[in-house]
Structure formats: structure tokens, C-alpha cells
Amino acid sequence: MVIRGIEVLQKYKSELFDLINEFEYKEYKNTDWLTKWTLIIQEVFNMKGVTFYLRKEKIFKEMRPLHSNKEKTVTLQEVMELFPDDSLINTENLDKYSQFSSFSQVILLRSMTNEPIALLCFKERWEAIGEINLSNFVAEFCHSSSGLMNKLLTITEIIEEEERYRELFKVTETFHSSMEVDTLLDEIITTLHKVFPSYSSKLLLSNDHQHYADVRIQNFNFDTATSAAMESFVNGVIQVESNLNSGNTVFYAPLRGKQGIYGVMQVSSQHEKLFQKKEIEFIKLLAYTAGSALENAKLYQQSKQLISDLQLINETSHRLNLNLRLSETLAFLNTQIQKSFKTSDIGFVFLKDSKERFKILPGSSDLFRTGNGIEYIHLVEARMSKGNDPLFIGDLKGKYGQSNLVFRSIMAVPMVQHSEMIGFCLVLHQEPYFFSYDMFKLLQSFIHHSTLALTNSMLREKLEEMVITDYLTQLYSRYHLDEFIERSIREDTRGVLLLIDIDDFKHVNDTYGHHIGDKVLIQVAKLLKETVTGKGLGARWGGEEMAVYFPQSRINDVIQIAQDIVEEASRKTQPPITVSCGLAGWDCGHPVSSMNLFMQADEALYEAKREGKNQVIIRG
């Protein structure tokens, strides 16, 4: 086709200048300016069938497909083959490429740095005449067109980036105004779709065991995840991989907060399209903002759950402090655990030193009194025998490979007292991964706060089975006094033990009979209670011997009390008797064992006997 030369080039430049001046965001969006530019070329040069190929990374994409729904592309390598050296026009070997077989002439536009940026394809050939030859004509045309192309592409990129960051600003506002995780996830995926409509986007989240309505929001599957996805999720780094099967490029950005990684943002391009630097920066920024927002929302929800858990623990602790009997305590715990963990398969197991290794406590589900339930008790006992560590297994079948296991999820927490495990609580459910880690932590806290109440209930009932008072004298038993002294030595800073022996008690029994001897014991015991009540704990030591322990007392505080007992004994007994006393004390500067304390007091008592009886001797 014959071109008029310089005049037409001048008109073309004028039209391009007007196009730049008219280019406004509201009027031209994305690549709408190509339509206007195509019309200018067709009008000025009287050309028909003009087609643009714009470059994106290493791909030239056809912007105005002709009679085809399939997107046509040309690689950078093919373009370089078409235009060797610095050539700008090609009319040869176009049939070699199916994309160009219908064109007679292809012109290459280059950037200011001589990089190929676009292709113009024509059905007809240009032939310049007059004062300018074809080569110079094409060079001038390309120079003007490249300038326009660079300016419009730059403006388009700015507009697109402005649109992206406007969406980021909007979604950030939502992030700051909402603490609902589902709302945040929906906003993230919606923003990705708006900003990158030609890309496929997904959110792969840490396993919350939750099913999402949107198929683009999924739990992270460790079994099927690619190595790049795994690397991004585990180490919190950006990853890009090319999928050889689909030909896609996939970008992974971690949703990372300050305390952890909450998932991965997956963005996939089509047809091996590479991500531009500005797109990558936007996805990274969106992922970072989304990760922080997700963390805040999760922390908010966790704080609400924590408050609820603390209220539950407080309610439980308050109830358990009511000195309930063991059966009442366990029944209450069973109810609270059912309410919190939505399961009725709960067992309370107490470990024993006898051949019968454990005892199933009341409040346990009937399951644990069957052979099937006993298997789970044996399993937990075997695991905990290696240490007092709690047990949390999401899928017993996957862990142990036993297909006959009815219950797949298990939590077990030891009951520990004085660093020793006295039993454990186990909770089961038939569904795998039914219990969350937060539930596990709650159960640990629950049992920790309940163990003391349980052991107290057990001890209370044990003590009820024992006689803690002497039937004859109504003083405490020696067993009770022993425990009292041992506890005092552990917890107090000082104490004094007073041993009392009735002088010549055998003579009383032989002379008056044992029934009179018993009356004398009762009279002495009454004297002790009257003298030491509110100051010490009195007990029958054995036979005619009695004892009083004074916690948090010094010997000087007790000497007068002992002297009063000696002086009052003969006046308040019938027949009159005398008593001998031995005193021994301890303090934190000179700690003793309960046995040593007993021996010191006993030595003092025997010395009082040897020295003539009816007196007080001190040791320690």
C-alpha cells in the first residue's frame, strides 16, 4: 500500500498527541486506549485489520483476537527470531508461525532501552514513496508509536496500581473494623478476585477443623501440598513454582502474624504467565496485612474463649471448695467436661500400689468398666508410665495402626500431687481429630485445678474410715498426731512436742483394778484438753502415755503449761496420781525429722522418770 510520506506521519503524530491529552482514567480503563489507537492507524494510514500484541514478561499476548475465543500468544524467543538484530519490520517467513500466517507485515515497537514491547500486525504491506523510503518511514513510525506506547503503558500501570492499592485500603479498613475470622477471609478472597480477575486464588489455612462455604478457602492439606506450598507454610517465606502438568505459575505468600503462620495465600496464573514485580509486591503486602488481621481476630476469639474457660474453671474451683464427697466431686467434674468437650466418654482412674494396678473411680463412663474401655486405660497407663506427660492424639488409628479402635480421638491428663502421678483423666471420641489443641489445654487446666479437690475428697473419706480419736480418752489418735507433726515440720518454722507419762500407773491398775485405771486416764486426758485447747493438739500416745504438739511455739512458751499439768494432775485425779513430762522442740535453724523429735522428747521423759518423777525435763 502506498503511503504519502511526511505529511501522513505528521498527521499521525498529531493524532497521537491528542490521544495522550485525552487519556483520562474515567474515559480509558485498562487497554481501552488500544481501541482508540487502532482507529487512528486505520484512519490516518487507510489500513484495515490492525492487530496488537502486547508484551507481558516473556509473552506477547494478542489484545484483539480475530474470530477466535482462544487467546493467542507469541513468545519473546519467537519475536527475536522474527526480528534479528535491530530490525523493525518483517514481511518474510510469517507463514512459519500460525499466529502471523494471515498477516502480510509485522512491525516491532521497542522501548527507550531497545526492549521489544509490542507487535503491530497488518493485512496489507506498507510502501513509502516520495521524500522518505520505507525503512526511514517505519523507523519514524515506530519511534512515535513507541513513545506513545511507553507513556500509555506507564499511565495504565499507575492506574492499575492505584486501583489495587485502593482495594487494599478498603480491605484494610474492613480488617480493622471486624474481628470475625470468616468475614476477614471473605474479604481477602474477594479482594484477590477484584485485583487479579484473570488469576486463580485460594487461601490454604492452618487446620482449624472447619468447613468453609467458599471452595476457595480450604484447610492446608499436608498430604497433598506441594513442596513450595509446604515451604511457604512451615518457614513463612515467599515461594514461586511452575506446574509442569498445567503449565501454570503458582505464587505462595504466607499469612504470617507476629506469633505464627496462619495459612498460605495461593495465586495461580494461566498459560505460564509470569508475575510482574508490582503484582508480587501487592500480593506480599496483602498477605502481610491479612496475616496480621487474622492473628488479631484469632487472638480476640481466643481471648473470649479464654475468658469463658476461666469462668468455667472459677465456677469449678468454687464448687470443688465446698468439701464435697468424692462421688459428688467426680459427678460434677463429669458434667463440666461433658459440657465443655461435647463427649460422654470420660474416665477417672486412680493408680494403686497393690497388684490391682488401678481403680476406676465413680463418675467414670460405663465404657471404662468394659473390656473395650480397659484397653484405652492400659494404653494411657503404658504411655504415662514413661513420664507424667499428658497425652493428646488426633487419630489413634493413624498413630497405632489398629483398625479395631472404636474411639479415634483421645486426651489424657495426669493427676499429679507432690510431683507424683496418683491417677489420670481420659476423654475419648469416636471421630478423628475431634478435639482441638485449645480443648486439650483447657482439660489440663481443668484437671490441675481439680486434682487437689479430688485428693482431698479421697483423703477425707479415708480418714473417715479410720479412727482419728481414741475411744477411751477422746484425745486424737497417735496416727493423727504423727501426720500433724510431719505437716508442721514441712510447713511451719518451729514447734514443741510434750510427752506425758502417768507415774506408777501399773501400781494403780494392780491396786484398784483396770476400770479405775481407765478412769484415771480419762481424768488426765480431761486435764490436758482443759489446759492445751487452742494452743496445741493432744493425743493418746499409747498405754498410759499422752502427748501434746504445739505448732509455731518455742519451748519457753510451753514450759509453764507443762508445769501446770504436773501440778494439777494430783488434784484432778482420783485416786491422786503424778505425771512426768519430757519436752523437745525444733525450729527452722535446727530442723528435725518427726522421728528425731519423738526420740528427744522420749529421752527427756525417761530422764524425768530417773530423776524422781513428777517433773518436767527439756531436750532441744
pLDDT value, residue 269: 80
Q: Compute CA 137 distance to the chain's CA centroid, rounded to the nearest angstrom.
A: 69
- Residues 373 and 485 grouped into a single domain: no
Give dist(CA 463, CA 467) in Å, integer: 7
- Residues 517 and 596 grouped into a single domain: yes
- Residues 377 and 451 grouped into a single domain: yes
- Residues 610 and 489 grouped into a single domain: yes
Give dist(CA 110, CA 150) in Å, integer: 9
pLDDT value, residue 67: 43
pLDDT value, residue 313: 72
Residue 256 β-bridge partners:
261
What letters, b where the CB count within 10 A reaches 16 and e where it falls short, cover 344-380? ebbbbbbbeeeeeebebbebbbebbeeeebebbbebb
Number of domains composing the chain: 4
- Residues 89 and 39 grouped into a single domain: yes
Residue 250: Cβ within 10 Å count? 21
- Asked if residue 349 belongs to a domain, the reply is yes
Q: Looking at 117, 132, 160, which one is the last position of a domain?
A: 160
pLDDT in tens, 537-557: 999 988 899 999 999 999 999
- Residues 185 and 289 grouped into a single domain: yes
Residue 118 β-bridge partners:
54, 109
0.75 exceeded by the pTM? no
pLDDT in tens, 243-287: 666 667 888 888 888 888 888 888 888 655 566 777 778 778 778
- Residues 139 and 238 grouped into a single domain: no
Cα separations in angstroms, 286 against 92, 188, 412, 510: 47, 8, 41, 100
- Asked if residue 142 belongs to a domain, the reply is yes
Give dist(CA 74, CA 57) in Å, integer: 11
Give all strands (DSSP E) within 45-98, no chain letters: 51-56, 59-62, 73-75, 89-90
Q: Compute CA 380 distance to the chain's CA centroid, rounded to the nearest angstrom.
A: 24
pLDDT value, residue 511: 93
- Residues 583 and 530 grouped into a single domain: yes
Statement: residue 68 has pLDDT above 60:
no
CATH number of the structural domain spanning residue 563: 3.30.70.270
- Residues 350 and 437 grouped into a single domain: yes
- Asked if residue 468 belongs to a domain, the reply is no
Cα torsion at 400, 403, 409, 413 (round to 10°)? -50
Sequence letter at residue 42: Q
pLDDT in tens, 492-528: 999 999 999 999 999 999 999 999 999 999 999 999 9
Higher pLDDT, 185 or 105: 105
> Averaged over 579-589, what is the pLDDT?
92
pLDDT category at 487 given cuts 50, 70, 90 is: very high
Cα separations in angstroms, 354 against 351, 375, 424, 491, 523: 9, 20, 17, 30, 43
- Residues 499 and 529 grouped into a single domain: yes
CATH number of the structural domain spanning residue 205: 3.30.450.40
Higher pLDDT, 582 or 440: 582
- What is the domain range of residue 363? 326-457
Per-position DSSP letters for 291-311, written without gaps between them:
HHHHHHHHHHHHHHHHHHHHH
- Residues 188 and 266 grouped into a single domain: yes
Report residue 104 as a C-alpha cell: 502480510
Statement: residue 364 has pLDDT above 60:
yes
pLDDT value, residue 28: 47
Residue 382: Cβ within 10 Å count? 9
> Averaged over 207-236, what is the pLDDT?
78
- Residues 546 and 614 grouped into a single domain: yes
> Averaged over 177-181, what is the pLDDT?
69
